[in-house]
Structure 1
Amino acid sequence: MNTKIIYFIVVLSMFSTLMSCEKMEDTYFEFVKDGETIYVGKADSVKTRGGNNRIELSWLLVSDPKVNSYKVYWNSRRDSIENTVTKTTAVDTVRVLLTDIREDVHNFEIFTYDKDGNSSVAVSTIGRVYGDNYKASLLQRTYKTINRSDDNLIVKWSEAPNTLLFVEIQYTDNMGNMVKKFVPGETEVDSLKNFPVGGSLQYRTAFLPEPEALDTFYTSFNTITEDDI
């Protein structure tokens, strides 16, 4: 290749590199021209706990002693809540309870701030709020068989979903005592002791929609008699 052509290519390459660096430098100065951008420590290990038209958000403040407030946005930033925090030398936990929240899956954005108004980067999390629609979807736990064994009724329960917490049963035994018992979801066979012949019972089913949900949800009570079985 001609030496002059090689020299021209090298010069052109150096010129392009120089222009690129100047452009990056201009961008940098545009970014910091009003002073250095300062970010404070962001919310760490964010968790949500859904409930009945409410939800709790929690997170850790790990290492930045400058953090003194926060702001949480949801509903496409049309709703928000803010408050101050007191940072200690340890790892602190912030808990925020939001009430009167519509039943839905929500996206939340969390910002933390120092006393000068410098913010952290946004931390996003998703949480579900439960309500009437969820309650309307709940069904009683079903049973396979109920049989009498002497003075007792033996109940064989159908398999329970993971969200089923327990069945609450109420009846008056053959000695006139009011009995209330709670049958865990993992129980397959249960005994109702001293159940009167021809007697009746009421029962309802309790659900926990997520492992650390704020609220337990119940079906309505059903009444069955031994004659109906």
Structure 2
Amino acid sequence: MKKSTRIIYFALLAIGIFFAVASCEETTETYSEFTKDGEIIYVGTPDTVIVAPGYEKLQFSIVINADPKISSGVLQTKDKSFVQEFDVQRQNIGQDTILFIANLDEGEYNFDVYLKDDSGNTSIPREVTTVVYGSKYQNTLLSRSISAIKVFESEAILSWGDVPNGSISTSLSYEDADGAMQTIEIPNDINETILTSYNLGGQIIVESIYAPSPNAIEVFTASSETVFPEQFQLNHTNITALRLPFDASDGCYVSSYERLTDGATGEYWHSCDSAEDQYPFVMSFDIGVSANLSGFRLDKRSACCGGRSPGAYQIWATNDLTGAETADIDAGELSDWEADATAKGWVKLIDVTGNTQETFEVEILENAENYRYIRIVGISSINGELNANFDEFTFFASGVE
């Protein structure tokens, strides 16, 4: 090798050694800077954090790895306004799960969960965002509604409204005929419940259950209370028309008395153009039982002409049809007909004037006697027409013999 070549070679080698030494010194200085207080030791990070809500509390399930140094942990909010430490007592040698409860006010939370060893070394925190439920959430919940209650002598029928969003189940507690409270479950797919024992005026409690999440450790309950009606509807299948002398006819336009007591609206009775059918008129019925009548309902013609419902009307009753035929109500004054009806054993239960409700339900005050035979006397219509039409008659009672 030529002398000049060797000189260049050794010069380059010296420069390389210089930079290598300088680099090592710089690396050593940087490492020393970060380890001047000792080497940082981390313990195992939580593998999984599962949060299950309750009422103003959360249950934490912390899955930890096999790191034997882990002895405790800390749950804290980002702003450290809430800090809760927990011990780690292993039940398994390898992976294990730590359970604990944190009591918190209702609201949204952003937590850090980290583990520690006995020397105070910590894991890298695992972030958890969750919600705590309480009274505010509770107050937004609704129980499933009862849209209608129909009670008959031997049964009560409860019709259910839609299931509230999030409700997982509903229970019904009710007072039976003996005054004892009974409780049954109402599945979400049930729209009607039939009770064969109930107490008039008795208590009804509905409770719907909510779980804010599938793994909730507690459920929330929304409840409502109502009562059974004080009266029951007489069975329409037992009611028949008497068709006493001078009573209104079966009517016209394919009408019949049976439409008035078939338990459904939509098909009407319509008067004929005859004096016996037009206002004033009389209709007489055998209700099938001797009952303490407590109410009467008339449903207007559903398609039209509700103004033809009675604006003034009376209801009369008796238990004996012997000699009970009355004079023609169209033959004289109303007062004359009333006097004749009273003389024949009929008892006036109600006398209404000035009614403006096309469909109405009227209370009949408590009677000292039960009655089986009923007369509906239409005196005048709401709109002043002579023609009459309506869909349904319903009779109510507080008891029967």
TM range (shorter): 0.7 to 0.9
The 5-angstrom pairing of residues 16-165 of structure 1 reads 26-74=29-77, 76-87=79-90, 88-99=92-103, 101-146=104-149, 151-162=155-166, 164-165=167-168
Corresponding residue of 1:196: 198
**Which amino acid is 2:80 matched to?**
R
The structural deviation recorded for 1:176 is 4.8
In the comparison of the two structures, how many residue pairs are matched?
211
Amino acid at match of 1:194: T
Taking the aligned partners of 1:23 and 1:63, their CA distance within structure 2 comes to: 38
- Greater shift, 121-130 or 71-80, is seen at 71-80
Q: Secondary structure at the match of 2:44?
A: coil
Residue identity in the other structure for 2:217: L
Distance in 2, Cα, partners of 1:140 & 1:227: 23
Q: Please provide the CA RMSD for this pair.
A: 3.2
CA–CA distance in structure 2, aligned partners of residues 183 and 25 of structure 1: 75
Q: 1:51 touches 1:215 (CA, 8 Å); kept in 2?
A: yes
What do the CA deviations read for 1:131-152 (whole angstroms, capped 9, x no partner)?
Answer: 1211111122234555568635
Corresponding position: 1:179 with 2:163: no
Task: Give 1:174 shift.
Answer: 3.3
Greater Cα shift, 151-160 or 207-216: 151-160
Change (3 A) 1:197 1:56: closer
Aligned-pair CA distance for 1:83: 2.9
Cα deviation digits, residues 185-218 of structure 1 (max 9, x gap): x333342431437454221222211112222222
Summarize deviations over 1:89-133 as a string: whole Å, max 9, x none: 13211112112x111011111111112111100111012111121
Find the structure with the greater CA-based Rg. Answer: 2
Whole-Å Cα distance in 1 between the matches of residues 199 and 137 of structure 2?
Answer: 37
Q: 1:156 to 1:136 in 2, by over 3 A?
A: closer
Are residues 125 and 169 of structure 1, via their aligned partners in 2, closer, same or farther at CA, if it must alter by over 3 Å?
same
Q: Which amino acid in 1 is paired with 2:195?
A: K
8 A Cα contact 2:78 2:110, kept in partner: yes
Indicate the structure whose relative CO is greater, using CA pairs within 8 Å and at least 6 residues apart: 1
Between the aligned partners of 1:154 and 1:143, the Cα distance in structure 2 is 7
CA spacing shift, 1:26–1:197, aligned 2, 3 Å: same
CA contact (8 A) 2:66 2:96 kept: no
Residue 35 of structure 1, CA deviation:
2.9
1:28–1:170 Cα change, 3 Å: same
- Identity score, percent: 26
Aligned equivalents of 1:172, 1:33: Cα separation in 2: 78
Q: 1:176 to 1:136 in 2, by over 3 A?
A: closer
| 1:167 aligned partner | 170
CA-CA distance at 1:33 after TM superposition = 3.2
Instruction: Deviation per CA, 1:159-197: give whole Å up to 9, x if none.
Output: 3313x122221112235543112224x333342431437
TM-score, normalised to structure 1's length?
A: 0.77
